[in-house]
Every structure is written in structure tokens, then in C-alpha cells.
Amino acid sequence: MQRTVFLAITLTLAIGVAAVTAAPVNYKLPDEVAAFKAGPNLETVQGNCSACHSADYIKTQPPMKDKKSFWQAEVTKMIKVYGAPIDDADVGKIVDYLAATY
């Protein structure tokens, strides 16, 4: 029993020392290589989509035949699954922009 208590105290102290002496992690994010394409409702897309991800993410989506349905489903998923705070009035604008430009 004493050995278990001693090991627990030793482990707790070791973790405490490691936490105190640990250096902060610094890293640099890579530069963004893509930009949103010019088009109607660009500002709406930038204002809503850029809060969570870059233009690179949108650019890497797979090609699709029915672009409007695809982007409607993606925007709906962003709202319902990921909680994106997109106003109902902006949904159509975002879908139209994405379907026309990507």
C-alpha cells in the first residue's frame, strides 16, 4: 500500500514538473495559396465561410455534375452539423456563388 502511494505521489510530482518546465509550442501556419474567385456575393461568402476555413478547402472539393445541389447540401451541413452561424438570407447567395464559381 505504501509503495502504491509513493508511486502515485512520484508520478504526480513528475507530471507537475513537466507541466511547469514545458516550453510553449510555436508553429507557423502555411501561407494560403488559393483565394476566393471574384463573383456576385463574394463578400457574403468571405464573411461566412472564411470564419472557419480557407478558400483552399473550398477549392479542393471534388468535381460534381449537379453543382447547385452539392453546394446546397454542403452549406446545409455546415449549418446543421458544424453549427455555422449563417443567416437564412445568406444561404442562397452562398450556394449560388459556389455553384457558379467552383
CB distance 80 to 55 below 8 Å? no
Say yes or no to pLDDT of 9 above 90: no
Cell representation of residue 8: 502515485
Catalogue the E-assigned strands of the chain: none
The stretch 5-21 carries a mean pLDDT of 77
Cβ contact 60:20 at 8 Å? no
pLDDT digits (tens, 9 = 90+) for 55-102: 888 888 888 889 999 999 999 999 999 999 999 999 999 999 999 998
Report pLDDT for 17: 73
CATH numbers and ranges of domains, the chain: 42-101 (1.10.760.10)
pTM over 0.75: no
54 grid coordinates: 480557407
Q: Answer positive or negative: Cα dihedral of 72, 49, 86, 93.
A: negative
Cell numbers linked to 46: 468571405
pLDDT of residue 20: 67
Say what the pLDDT of residue 45 is.
96
